[in-house]
Amino acid sequence: LRETKADSELVEASSAGRRALRRMIGLVANFVDISRLEDAALQVMRFPTKVGDLLTSTGQIHETSRGDIEALRVTCDLDLVCEIDPMLTERVLHNLLNNATRYVDTGGRIGIEAYLEDDGDTLFIGVGNTGASIPHEKRDGLFEKYGKADDGKSQRGMGLYFCRLACEAHGGTIRIEDSPNYATLFAIRLSLAGLT
């Protein structure tokens, strides 16, 4: 059967609806968990997690958000297993990938990578995209409560604040770093030290 224009428009409308619903659910969850993280009422639940599988499954959800960019790239050792909170980490990745799909340039690319740093006690996760870079003087402020870029694309300024709190709950950090491959690279470092 030949797909008609109406069929194509219906598929696109359905896909857009699912993306909007996903964003709304994420926004509500962020507000609830930000309060719990601020009060130290949300505990990190660490489980042995196949990091590559987590990155791939999360990336696939966002891969079709922009049809005018390259396929999302995941770089991670398939055997990498770390004790992290997979649900909390996935939520962080969703926030960062939502931002990446909003800011990546036409024909550009988004990439996710993960590896153990040389100390063996730190999991690095990077989410990068091509497009306009964020000036150094504005980077730290993006992770504050209600902090957002003055570019007309930013939303309520809570997503990156949630990411910061979630990473800190892991004994880790998140920041924007320079990269030879991306205009913007969100660099997450989660501590694995002292885990049994």
Residue 84: closest CA among 52, 113, 44: 44
For 154-177, the pLDDT digits (tens) are 555 668 988 999 999 899 999 999
- CA–CA separation, 28 and 35 (whole Å): 11
Q: Given this model, what pLDDT does residue 1 score?
A: 47
Compute the average pLDDT of residues 7-25. 57
Q: What tokens were used for 70?
A: 């390259």
Stretch (H or E) spanning 188: strand 184-191
pTM recorded for the entire structure: 0.79
**In contact, 127 and 96? CB cutoff 8 Å:** yes
Compute the average pLDDT of residues 95-106. 91
